[in-house]
Amino acid sequence: MPRDKQKKIAVINDFSGFGRCSIAVALPIISALKIQCCPLPTAIFSNHTGFDSFFFTDYTRHMNAYMDEWKKLDLRFDGILTGFLSSVEQIDHIKRFFDLFYDEKTIAVVDPVMGDSGKLYATYTIELAKSLSSLLPLADVITPNLTEACVLADVDYRPDVGDDELLKLCEKLSAYGPKKIVVTGLERGDVLSNYVFERDSPPVIVNEPRIGVCRSGTGDVFSAIIAADAVNGKDFAESVRRASSFIAKAMRRTMEKDVAPQSGVCFEEILLEL
């Protein structure tokens, strides 16, 4: 099947039926930006793990057969976006996916979902977190928060890191492969900052007011916009501004509706504004 006129992004992430995160977020956002979203699930959840109870099934053993069918169709992807992974074996599957589907026209965005506030998520082992760094040579763009950036670069986490240190951190990560990096969600008083790095260009700081409490799925909203904009040829810093502004507006709408933090952010309310 030749690369047709409608662009496609393969999204390798988990699927949660409730809670507004992962594939359930990426699919409508990428679609709204006029790109076909093609999900490859890494796990299936009834609702995300921030709830007290959830159904979960790992999809690792199905991933190769799933992508083999896509290969039979000779699918071509303009973008690949990776998110939550549950095992080192899944990282090997992603590398195989790149072997099968990545070419010189494909833009790869790696969202290294594995921790926050200096700690790994409960589902992540040190081995898995360290193994994620092996995806950096495959990535054109990465979207880590500060915790994830420190783990990938193998440096100590400090919440009060300055801009000069962020530059050194991004330069170290970029040396592994990615030309574009945004370190997301830097907490600076009443402001959330995003540190935007592009190789051979001066860094850019994108600020938005800090609104409400931390919610599930905001990182998935962010990475979906970044991936779609990259495939659509948008300027990287401007894409970060747009994603940050969209999330801030969605957060305000979510607070107006008094939605519980576990239920994520009401991006649907303003989706058509993208």
CATH code of 177's domain: 3.40.1190.20
In this predicted structure, what is the pLDDT of residue 34? Answer: 97
Q: What pLDDT band is residue 214 in, cutting at 50, 70 and 90?
A: confident
Instruction: Residue 193: give the domain boundaries.
Output: 8-273
Tell me if 2 is assigned to some domain: no
Residue type, 40: L
Instruction: Choose among 130, 92, 127, 98: nearest CA to 112.
Output: 130
Least confident of 150-154, 176-180, 189-193, 223-227: 189-193
Q: What are the residues whose beta carbons fall under 8 Å from the beta carbon of 169, sequence distance 6 or more? A: 149, 150, 153, 155, 161, 183
In this predicted structure, what is the pLDDT of residue 49? Answer: 84
Tell whether the model's pLDDT for residue 9 goes beyond 60: yes
In this predicted structure, what is the pLDDT of residue 124? Answer: 82
CA 215 and chain centroid, separation: 15
CB 35 within 8 A of CB 8: yes
Nearest-angstrom CA–CA distance, 231 and 8: 9
Under the phi-then-psi rule, with left for phi > 0, alpha for psi from -120 to 50, and beta for the rest, what region is 162?
beta
Tell whether the model's pLDDT for residue 246 goes beyond 80: yes
In this predicted structure, what is the pLDDT of residue 16? Answer: 94
Instruction: Choose among 263, 168, 169, 269: nearest CA to 215.
Output: 263
Each residue of 21-45: pLDDT tens digit? 999 999 999 999 999 999 999 999 9
In this predicted structure, what is the pLDDT of residue 2? Answer: 53
In this predicted structure, what is the pLDDT of residue 82? Answer: 97
What backbone phi and psi angles, to 5 degrees, belong to 62? Answer: -100, -10
Prediction pTM value: 0.94
Tell me if 123 is assigned to some domain: yes
CB 213 within 8 A of CB 254: no
Q: Please give the tally of structural domains in the chain.
A: 1
Average predicted confidence (pLDDT) for the chain? 93
Each residue of 39-49: pLDDT tens digit? 999 999 999 88
Tell me if 252 is assigned to some domain: yes
Q: How many CA atoms lie within 13 A of 112 on its CB side?
A: 33
Each residue of 109-146: pLDDT tens digit? 999 998 888 888 877 888 888 889 999 999 999 999 99
Each residue of 139-170: pLDDT tens digit? 999 999 999 999 999 999 998 899 999 999 99
Q: Find the mean pLDDT for residues 215-223.
A: 90
